[in-house]
Amino acid sequence: MTTELPEVVPAAEVTEWSDETDVLVIGFGIAGGSAALEAARAGARVILLERAAEYGG
């Protein structure tokens, strides 16, 4: 199974948002990462937002 790596976009560079998603996860700690992974494995379109430059609650 191959998983596409997400694109990291600094918030300051986002001037407009038009993506649609099935699942929006706020926070890339253990819970958020697990939720995003399982939703993606189930076929959902997932967007994961994290305010820090790195993952990890």
pLDDT-derived band of residue 1, with 50, 70 and 90 as boundaries? low
Q: What is the pLDDT of residues 3-44, one digit of tens each?
A: 677 777 887 888 998 889 999 999 999 999 999 999 999 999
Predicted structure pTM score:
0.69
The verdict on residue 25 lying in a domain is yes
Contact criterion met (CB below 8 Å) for 23 and 45: yes
The secondary structure element, H or E, covering residue 34 is: helix 30-41
- Domain extent for 48: 21-57
Number of structural domains in the chain: 1
Residue 8: Cβ within 10 Å count: 8
Residue 57 has pLDDT above 70, yes or no: no
Report helix, strand and coil shares of the chain as percent, to nearest 5: 25, 15, 60
The verdict on residue 8 lying in a domain is no
29 vs 1, more confident = 29
